[in-house]
Amino acid sequence: MTNSPFTAHHADLAALAHDSRRRTLAPRAGRDFASNDYLGLADSEALREALTAGIERGLPAGSGGSRLLRGNHAEHEALEAHAARHYGSEAALFFPTGFAANAALFAALPQRGDLVVHDELIHASAHDGMKLGRAGHVAATHNDAQSFDDIIARWRAGGGAGTPWIAVESLYSMDGDRAPLADLAAVADRHDAVLVVDEAHATGVFGPGGAGLAHGLARRDNLITLHTCGKALGAEGALLCAPAIATDFLVNRGRPFIFSTAPSPLMAWLVRHAIEIVANEPERQARLHSLVRHAAERLVPLGIPASGTQILPVIIGDNNRTMRIAGQLQGAGFDIRGIRPPTVAQGTARLRIAITLNVDEANIDDMADALASAMAAA
């Protein structure tokens, strides 16, 4: 063939490579400053023991079908009941991934005539869900409750008669900053809106028993929270916690839920035990927060602001320089990745340093020294 059917794809990848934005898969290597395994559970003896116990109970590895066919298992329902109690909601629904949960939520729950007002930095999965949905959607200024309020007020003044939906993350994955949840809840109450809080990076790390940053808002009839299970909980999947009417609607109208093979019953068992481990071992949270404070003490003198959370962005700006510094750090034995557009805004390429229980203070000291040298050399 003279013309490849993939000519456009070759050109697109070449353009990404020219701008230092082409992604490739790389094996894990070096000390962990890149993962979301914040509490060090993913490779822990505690989860291995829980997994072994589940296997010994004869739990199936696969579900065999969607939840609406033969894929529904008692372990799915046990997990959902436990999650609803733990996170303070009327009901919960278990999804295979956080991406699927967000896609289902925003595609199905907001109705025609509604308006989704989302933080401009919200997860890509929420954007994809909104594109599939029937409601209008508009971005609000990052972490600015007044921006949300103003947008909804203008929409109402222009004849908007449906339900407003306020969509935010409680802790932002690339900046490490927290949403003003109490102010946003007040906006939601003022406008009869639903507040959707993605707790992906706060679950396990913040709140009593790892219940997240929105735990103080629990039991509201206008609150939906999403708790991913593959980050601090060390497992897989996501739990959407909401009023029962919302989870029931998703079982009937949420296509990513309806037409997906159910998560493994063994994984549901494992997630339930991960939630219990985090709740029963508060020392994990305490150790992590101590490491976060130590990292801030080492990085602030380098001109890197403290985020107050386990996610520490080092804004470089230039894509090429970002990847050079990341490469030097990886060569020195530290798994630190460069993050470039479109994951972050143009001109804000960065290193995303994650503090987890997979490292200790000595590792952080060594990383800070290596970072200072790499930044000076690049």
- Contact yes or no for 66/259 (Cβ under 8 A): yes
| pLDDT, tens digit (0-9, with 9 covering 90-100), for 199-239 | 999 999 999 999 999 999 978 899 999 999 999 999 999 99
Could you say which architecture CATH assigns to the domain 59-279?
Answer: 3-Layer(aba) Sandwich (3.40)
Instruction: Give the model's pLDDT for residue 2.
Output: 61
Domain boundaries, the chain: 25-41+282-377, 59-279
- Contact yes or no for 87/215 (Cβ under 8 A): yes
* pTM given for the model: 0.94
Instruction: Give the model's pLDDT for residue 25.
Output: 84
Pairing of strands 31-32, 334-335: parallel
List of long-range contacts for 70-78, beta carbons under 8 Å, 24+ apart? 71/261, 71/262, 72/262, 73/262, 73/265, 73/268, 74/265, 75/265, 75/266, 75/268, 75/269, 75/272, 76/262, 76/263, 76/265, 76/268, 78/268, 78/269, 78/272
- Contact yes or no for 123/198 (Cβ under 8 A): yes
| pLDDT, tens digit (0-9, with 9 covering 90-100), for 40-63 | 999 999 999 999 999 999 999 999
Q: Is 59-279 the same fold as 25-41+282-377?
A: no
Q: Does domain 25-41+282-377 have CATH number 3.90.1150.10?
A: yes
| pLDDT, tens digit (0-9, with 9 covering 90-100), for 180-210 | 999 999 999 999 999 999 999 999 999 999 9
- Contact yes or no for 102/198 (Cβ under 8 A): yes
- The CA distance from 290 to 7, in Å, is 51
> Angle at CA 169, nearest 5°, toward 234 and 200?
5
Residues of the chain with pLDDT under 70: 1-2
- From first CA to last CA, the distance across the chain in angstroms is 44
